[in-house]
């Protein structure tokens, strides 16, 4: 009744121009528009900037292209130990960044207006504002203003980098995930504020490319949402690479009064000054909710500023949905795409059947060296939620393929229910961790336990064998204590004839 009361004072249109209007053409919006068109619905997609959103233009695609090039450069250095002659590669940073842009250019047609128009989506370039629960006002790039009536709305407006209120920060230049890609020279000294996934990925990249990299993190460890042993491995690898890391470090101001800009901070109770040529902000992202008319409609926002949705991706208006970074604290491309599918199916067919998102099985990856990959619960989260678990662990130091490739470090850790092979969560630290995780995600999505992974044949020598080996750890640890002595007695009896 409370939800219905929001509609009482509003005039619903007699007919609608669209079945669904999608606001934002990033990962979530594109999936929502694609599925709506595939279902033969009339869908209008509105994007005020570039098609593909942050993922294509300033996020996943350019960052992973840069990481690939940085890793290729790092691998080339390993050849020095087996070469009779070796000349270090002299990097042309401008060419490297041009190659990153070339990757974007090659992928861009997948997300283009032309492709989506061909798929049956009406694409408008302009800004959108909700003027009622069923009316979307569009201001086109030409300045023309029109209004669309729609039965449902999917908001996929994304997020933007947080710019903290640090004295002196805005008085000069700084980098974010959106502006980083305009660099034409490799930073000599790069200070990164933030030790989360983005900060760690860019620290790894630029350290391999030759920058002197410093991470400042106010928390007690890097990647604070993951288990302590994960953070410890990353810190050790970073320090081995030459990255300086300051934990429990509080930034007080950015001082640009001298010829050299520096970060003024407090570290271990003492003042600290760190000079930099470039400063990269990686302290989080905030949902894009301003300017869309959400406040006037009373669409609920969280304390962090994101749109509040239920398990069906509905806002407090049953026919208005939100997905991706604008509503999800995880802010992952694949999470946005996953939620978008549920949002648009509920928008189109929710009258007959609603589909609930399973947010617990969204994988998380950090593309550094070694790679990090997670799904479900880790120990930290399980303990916080009071969930009982058992740990199965396999060290990749023993994996033949990792030894062959010279990357035999890291581990796979699986949390299971006590006295069961049911998988609660997985943490992987090591080479190709993001690929190894897929088998566990598939198992968890289909309620398959470690027994099924143990029974599957894995090629030799591959990294995926590690998944089978960690299942073997569980099998040995859970074998009944009476079984081994009983088997030994049986075989003695057999030998006796």
Domains and CATH numbers, the chain: 2-51+112-161+286-360 (3.50.50.60), 169-284 (3.50.50.60), 370-477 (3.30.390.30)
- The pLDDT assigned to 84 comes to 78
The residue with tokens 């969204």 is 362
Cross-strand pairs, 262: 255, 275
Q: Does the pLDDT at position 371 exceed 70?
A: yes
pLDDT the model gives residue 405? 93
How large is the greatest C-alpha to C-alpha distance in the chain, in angstroms? 95
Q: Which single residue is written with the structure tokens 């300045």? A: 143
pLDDT category, 4, cuts 50, 70, 90? low
pLDDT computed for residue 309 by the predictor: 97
pLDDT of residue 130 exceeding 80: yes
Q: Which residues contact 429 (CB under 8 A, 6 or more apart)?
A: 230, 233, 370, 371, 372, 410, 411
Q: Quick one: average pLDDT of 2-21?
A: 82
253 three-state secondary structure? strand
Q: Is the separation of the CB atoms in 307 and 299 below 8 Å? A: yes
Report, as an integer, the average pLDDT of 139-157: 96
For the residues 277-290, what does the mean pLDDT come to? 96
Evaluate if residue 118 carries a pLDDT over 70. yes
Could you tell me which of 416, 434, 419 has the C-alpha nearest to residue 470? 416
pLDDT for the residue numbered 8? 67
**pLDDT band at residue 1 under the 50/70/90 scheme:** low
The band of 360, judged by pLDDT with boundaries at 50, 70 and 90, is confident
Under DSSP, is residue 104 helix (H, G, I), strand (E, B) or coil? helix
CA 143/CA 131 separation, integer angstroms:
18
> Mean pLDDT throughout 307-336?
94
Mean pLDDT, residues 160-182 taken together: 95
pLDDT tens digits, 240-273: 999 999 999 999 999 998 888 999 999 999 999 9
3 state SS of 366: strand
Q: Which pLDDT belongs to residue 475?
A: 93
pLDDT at 2 over 70: no
- Asked if 156 contacts 324 with a C-beta cutoff of 8 angstroms, the reply is yes
Give the per-residue pLDDT at 375. 97
Peptide bond into 280 cis (omega under 30): no
pLDDT cut 90: percent of the chain above it: 89
Mean pLDDT throughout 345-358?
94
pLDDT of 235 strictly over 70: yes
Distance (Å, whole) CA 461 – CA 448: 24
Confidence check: pLDDT of 83 > 90: no
Please, is 356 exposed, middle or buried when counting C-beta atoms within 10 Å of its C-beta (0-12, 13-18, 19+)? exposed
**C-alpha closest to that of 429 among 450, 451, 418, 414:** 414
Predicted confidence at residue 112, as pLDDT, reads: 97
Q: 31-40, 56-65, 129-138, 251-260: lowest mean pLDDT where?
A: 251-260
Q: How confident is the model at residue 77 (pLDDT cuts 50, 70, 90)?
A: confident
Nearest in space to 478 (alpha carbons), one of 496, 497, 451: 451
Structure confidence at residue 82 as a pLDDT band (50, 70, 90)? confident
pLDDT at 127: 97
Averaged pLDDT for residues 183-187: 95
What is the Cα–Cα distance from 127 to 131, expressed in whole angstroms?
13
In 3-state terms the chain splits into helix, strand, coil percentages (rounded to 5) of 40, 25, 40
Q: Outline where DSSP puts E strands in 185-290.
A: 189-193, 212-216, 244-246, 249-255, 262-267, 270-275, 278-281, 285-287
CA separation for the pair 325, 318 (Å, rounded):
20
Report the pLDDT value the prediction gives residue 257, as an integer from 0 to 100. 87
Look at residue 125 in the predicted model and tell me its pLDDT.
Answer: 96
Average pLDDT in the chain:
94
Instruction: Summarize the confidence of residues 80-90 as an average pLDDT.
Output: 79
């Amino acid at each position: 009744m409370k939800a219905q009361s929001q509609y009482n004072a509003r005039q619903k249109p007699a007919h609608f121009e669209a079945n669904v209007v999608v606001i934002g053409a990033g990962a979530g919006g594109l999936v929502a528009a694609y599925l709506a068109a595939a279902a033969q619905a009339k869908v209008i997609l509105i994007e005020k900037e570039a098609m593909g959103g942050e993922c294509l233009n300033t996020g996943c695609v350019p960052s992973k292209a840069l990481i690939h090039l940085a890793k290729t450069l790092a691998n080339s250095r390993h050849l020095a130990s087996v070469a009779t002659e070796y000349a270090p590669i002299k990097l042309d940073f401008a060419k490297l960044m041009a190659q990153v842009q070339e990757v974007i250019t090659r992928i861009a047609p997948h997300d283009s207006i032309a492709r989506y128009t061909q798929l049956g989506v009406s694409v408008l370039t302009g800004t959108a504002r909700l003027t009622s629960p069923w009316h979307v006002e569009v201001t086109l790039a030409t300045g023309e203003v029109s209004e669309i009536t729609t039965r449902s709305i999917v908001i996929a407006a994304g997020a933007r980098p947080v710019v903290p209120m640090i004295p002196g920060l805005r008085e000069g230049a700084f980098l974010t995930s959106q502006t980083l890609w305009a660099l034409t020279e490799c930073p000599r000294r790069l200070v990164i504020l933030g030790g989360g996934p983005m900060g760690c990925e860019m620290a790894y990249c630029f350290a391999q490319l030759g920058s002197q990299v410093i991470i400042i993190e106010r928390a007690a460890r890097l990647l604070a949402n993951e288990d302590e042993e994960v953070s410890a491995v990353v810190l050790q690898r970073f320090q081995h690479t030459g990255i300086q890391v300051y934990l429990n470090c509080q930034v007080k101001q950015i001082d640009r009064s001298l010829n050299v800009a520096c970060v003024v901070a407090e570290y271990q109770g003492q003042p600290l000054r760190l000079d930099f040529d470039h400063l990269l902000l990686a302290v989080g992202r905030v949902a894009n909710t301003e300017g869309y008319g959400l406040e006037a409609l009373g669409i609920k926002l969280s304390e962090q500023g994101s749109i509040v949705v239920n398990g069906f991706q509905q806002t407090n208006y049953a026919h208005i949905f939100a997905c991706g970074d604008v509503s999800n604290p995880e802010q992952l491309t694949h999470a946005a795409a996953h939620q978008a599918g549920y949002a648009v199916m509920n928008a189109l067919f929710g009258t007959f059947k609603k589909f609930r998102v399973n947010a617990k099985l969204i994988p998380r990856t950090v593309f550094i060296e070694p790679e990090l990959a997670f799904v479900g619960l880790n120990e930290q989260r399980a303990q916080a939620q009071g969930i009982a678990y058992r740990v199965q662990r396999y060290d990749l130091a023993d994996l033949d393929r990792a030894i062959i490739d010279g990357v035999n470090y890291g581990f796979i850790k699986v949390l299971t229910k006590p006295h069961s092979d049911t998988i609660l969560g997985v943490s992987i630290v090591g080479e190709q961790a993001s690929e190894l995780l897929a088998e566990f995600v598939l198992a968890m999505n289909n309620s398959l336990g470690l027994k099924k992974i143990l029974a599957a044949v894995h090629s030799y020598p591959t990294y995926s064998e590690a998944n089978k080996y960690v299942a073997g750890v569980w099998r040995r640890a859970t074998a009944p204590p009476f079984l081994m002595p009983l088997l030994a007695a049986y075989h003695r009896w057999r030998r006796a004839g």
